[in-house]
Amino acid sequence: MAAPEGFKYTVRADGSVLIWHRGRAVTTVRGGRAAAFLAQVEEDDPQMVMARWTGQYRHGNERTAKNHPRNARG
């Protein structure tokens, strides 16, 4: 699995956090969740944390699921 990349975040004056992915705003985290996000970014890999919080990460099974007969198109 490739490491996530292209994420960055901005802390706003009101304490909310805006998470960006490849130049686009993906999500805004407010209140207690913003504090939890910032704490997690400090202790873990920031790119992976932002990928998890935004849902923009791969699970590693996409190709397998795509080729499964249940998911066949046609």
Q: Could you tell me which of 13, 15, 1, 4 has the C-alpha nearest to residue 48?
A: 4
Annotated domain spans of the chain = 7-69
Within 13 A of 71's CA, how many CA atoms are on the CB side?
A: 7
Query: Number of helices and strands (H, E) in the chain?
Result: 3, 3
The residue-averaged pLDDT of 50-73 equals 73
Sorting pLDDT into bands at 50, 70 and 90, what band is 58?
low
Query: What confidence score (pLDDT) does residue 11 get?
Result: 97
User: Could you tell me the pTM of the whole model?
Assistant: 0.70
Confidence class for position 10, pLDDT limits 50, 70, 90? very high
* pLDDT reported for residue 17: 97
